[in-house]
Amino acid sequence: MLTERQKMILNAIVDDYITSAEPVGSRSISKRGDVGYSPATIRNEMADLEDLGYLEQPHTSAGRIPSHKGYRYYVDHLVPWNSAESAELDTIRAFFAEKLNATEQVIQHAAMILSNMTNYTSILLGPEVFHTSLRHFQLLPLDDRTAVAIIVTSTGQVENKTVSIPPEISLSEMEKVVNLLNSKLVNVPLYKLKSQLYSELGEEMQRHIAHYEELMKVLDTALESDHEQRIYLSGATNMLTQPEFKDVDKVKDILDLLEETPTLLKMLAPASGGTGMQVRIGMENKHEAFANCSLITATYSLDGKALGSIGILGPTRMEYARVMGILGILSRDLTAMLAHWYK
Amino acid sequence: MLTERQKMILNAIVDDYITSAEPVGSRSISKRGDVGYSPATIRNEMADLEDLGYLEQPHTSAGRIPSHKGYRYYVDHLVPWNSAESAELDTIRAFFAEKLNATEQVIQHAAMILSNMTNYTSILLGPEVFHTSLRHFQLLPLDDRTAVAIIVTSTGQVENKTVSIPPEISLSEMEKVVNLLNSKLVNVPLYKLKSQLYSELGEEMQRHIAHYEELMKVLDTALESDHEQRIYLSGATNMLTQPEFKDVDKVKDILDLLEETPTLLKMLAPASGGTGMQVRIGMENKHEAFANCSLITATYSLDGKALGSIGILGPTRMEYARVMGILGILSRDLTAMLAHWYK
DNA sequence: GGTTAGCACTCATCTAACCAGAGTGCTAAC
DNA sequence: GTTAGCACTCTGGTTAGATGAGTGCTAACC
């Protein structure tokens, strides 16, 4: 347990380091208006904080920088929660005032806004189709062997996939099935679609349809992969402006990882159910390349279920308070907007 | 007009510089097996070539590097055209052997293959819907104010857009129009769609439909913006491996430009009709950030009309011969594949 | 006992000086 | 026309010293 004075000093060091990116010395802390102690006293406390693991020293004669544990403590106990500047609130308000009417467009645009506002990299996870429901299904023949399957969800997203059709299946059969599907499965959540396809329609189809097996296979692949969420990345190059990444080799690893969509998907997957804000510091991200990065994520949701995430990636030395404030507001407003659209 | 010997020397210098990234001196040229002259002779020729503007010298006691004019000459007259290594041919062949059945997927995948194979950045321009024709049109109501418009093209691409519906238009009216559209305008090239909409259907619709004006506006926006082509970028971080870009500030400008999709669209737009290969060196790209980059592009086409482009961006000191060889083959094979699919 | 002034010590960073090496241009000889 | 020889130039790397920020420790102070 830290004393009040230790908290105050840790807080001051993190704040200073966040803005300056330089190790901070006892003298500069002591000179701050709200600190009533001499450099020597601060030094003693700093030595203690280092022993406790909250600070570290790049080399003997340098100031201190926060350790991962130090950042963790800062984020968990010290971050001031008031930090949403009015200018930023205005930007967000202006963003929601624009009339955009497709969910995906909103998310994409939000990514840009976020990276511009924060000067970090924004990573947004597009809405999870999984929890939205079927609005309309269509199978449109392109030639005698292939067709394009189109799924429209209740949120107006359109997913499409090209499938190949076995020659023994006739056009009229396909039409029958698609009609059946549309009459019985509309408003079923996509994640239940396949199971309901079998349970509700299986019997009926087996009766009316000649090539049941083959047809089912086609539908299976048509409905299959549409659960892939999209990643919207913006401001990746903002990483290059951070002084800790002025070395090309280090930043290459980071940018390389940002090109790996599957990795990002995993990283942003909404933490099991919770809708709170997550801060992952350094190696908590489980990737060597992100050892000196922090990722802050929040979720937006519909009907209480997380639909997707919005995240900001920056150096561990990142403006936690400001970013958390912005993400909090934006995720809340996105959720509100979705609720307003689709209730 | 350059003498044969001058060409030979210029060629040797460009080749050397491309692989080493260091200014090349007279001695190293003279030592090459195929050159029968002493360093002194080479030096004289190099001085001449510098006077003519084909070479430049970073400083007095350094070797020479090719100038923009030098690269231009190299590309226009000296590039050896045989350079498609068998290993690379195999990779491309393997790529086309995979069964991918959606045009967009192929392009996206091709982008990765290209950047991996070349270790440069690949920029591909997705197929231009413009010259494909309408396969199916649909307007699907989401709620009483909005609907999603879906356009399926003859190449199986699905474009969708959310539009808002004025309250005075009824569902049945909309259905009527959509049916009309599907019966009369299927197989019309998308770029003629709007004009034919007016010329062929205008009269008939005006007769049958109550709110003609409003409905036309809806259709207009529904058909409007679907001409946007997609950019597929891969290997942007390969730029960071080039020694000339080891300075973060320089490379930041380049990567920033790569995030600007509209700029890339303009840059890759198939050069007026031609299907040949284009090489733009340094400032020929019209962007300060690309002053030390070269962009090589080729097009793929359907029915003799360019559908999109594939391009490689690298430093001006780039392996022109190899890249041009690869792009040539890939664009040819892409075109062949499209012709095979959609004829 | 907690706090602070004083001081010796450490270590990264900056500068200047120097050296080695690569490459040139010129001259004179072949 | 070609080449050997040589003086000259400029970069890059290394070393040595000076600078200064910051520390830890001790002893004095309240």
What kind and span of H or E run contains A254? Answer: helix A248-259
Domain count, chain B: 3
Residues B145 and B197 in one domain: yes
Res. B179 pLDDT band, cuts 50 70 90: confident
Tell me how far apart the alpha carbons of residues B194 and A143 are, in angstroms, rounded to a whole number.
25
> What's the CA–C1' distance between A62 and D15, in Å?
24
* DSSP H stretches of helix in chain B: 4-20, 26-31, 39-52, 68-73, 86-97, 103-118, 171-185, 190-196, 202-208, 212-224, 248-259, 261-268, 320-341
**Nearest CA-CA distance, residue A187 and chain B, Å:** 12
| B302-338 residues labelled b (16+ CB within 10 A) or e (exposed) | beeebbbbbbbbbbbbbbbbbbbbbbbbbbebbbeeb
Which residue in chain B is spatially nearest to A158 when comparing CA positions? B160
Which of the residue ranges A317-321, B164-168, B175-179, B245-249 has the most confident prediction, judged by mean pLDDT? Answer: A317-321
Cβ-defined contact of A146 to B252 (cutoff 8 Å): no
Residues A155 and A208 in one domain: yes
Task: Spell out which residues of B between 50 and 69 contact strand D, using CB within 7 Å.
Answer: 59-62
More confident residue, B179 or B104: B179
Cβ-defined contact of A252 to B259 (cutoff 8 Å): no
Residues B250 and B221 in one domain: no
Nucleotide nearest to B62 (CA to C1'): C23
**Residue B37 Cβ < 7 Å to strand C:** no
Tell me how far apart the alpha carbons of residues A118 and A84 are, in angstroms, rounded to a whole number.
12
More confident residue, A31 or B143: A31
Cβ-defined contact of B236 to A248 (cutoff 8 Å): no
User: What are B109-152's pLDDT values in tens digits?
Assistant: 999 999 999 999 999 998 877 677 888 888 888 777 888 888 88
Q: Edge-to-edge strand order for the sheet containing A134-141?
A: A134-141, A146-153, A158-164
Residues A116 and A100 in one domain: yes
**Residue B47 Cβ < 7 Å to strand C:** yes
What is the span of the domain harbouring residue B118?
86-128+229-341
Which of the residue ranges A83-92, B124-133, B226-235, B250-259 has the most confident prediction, judged by mean pLDDT? Answer: B250-259
Quick one: pLDDT at residue A83? 61
Res. B101 pLDDT band, cuts 50 70 90: low
Contact between B239 and B251 (Cβ < 8 Å): yes
Q: Is the per-residue pLDDT at A209 higher than 90?
A: no
Residues B240 and B324 in one domain: yes
Residues A30 and A157 in one domain: no
Quick one: pLDDT at residue B140? 83
Quick one: pLDDT at residue B115? 97
**Residue B28 Cβ < 7 Å to strand C:** yes
**Residue B36 Cβ < 7 Å to strand D:** yes
What kind and span of H or E run contains A140? Answer: strand A134-141
From chain A, the residues in CB contact with B150 under 8 A are 150, 152, 158
From chain A, the residues in CB contact with B111 under 8 A are none
As a whole number, mean pLDDT of residues A178-193 equals 84
> What's the CA–C1' distance between B26 and D3, in Å?
13
Cα-flanking dihedrals φ and ψ of residue A24, to 5°?
-105, 135
Per the structure block, which two tokens stand in for A137?
């299904």
Q: Maximum Cα–Cα distance for chain A, whole Å?
A: 89
Which residue in chain B is spatially nearest to A257 when comparing CA positions? B237
Residues B100 and B122 in one domain: yes
Residues B44 and B123 in one domain: no
Q: Is the per-residue pLDDT at B186 higher than 80?
A: yes
Residues A111 and A49 in one domain: no
Per the structure block, which two tokens stand in for A112?
């840009």
From chain B, the residues in CB contact with A111 under 8 A are none
CATH number of the domain bearing residue A202: 3.30.390.10
Q: Which range has the worst mean pLDDT, A290-299, B19-28, B121-130?
A: B121-130
**Nearest CA-CA distance, residue A115 and chain B, Å:** 12
Residues B44 and B105 in one domain: no
Contact between A49 and A55 (Cβ < 8 Å): yes
CATH number of the domain bearing residue B47: 1.10.10.10
Residues B49 and B179 in one domain: no
**Residue B60 Cβ < 7 Å to strand C:** yes
Residues B203 and B173 in one domain: yes
Quick one: pLDDT at residue B321? 94
**Of A194, A212, A227, which residue sits at a domain end?**
A227
Residue whose Cα is closest to the C1' of D4: B40
Which of the residue ranges A78-92, A194-208, A217-231, B20-34 has the most confident prediction, judged by mean pLDDT? Answer: B20-34
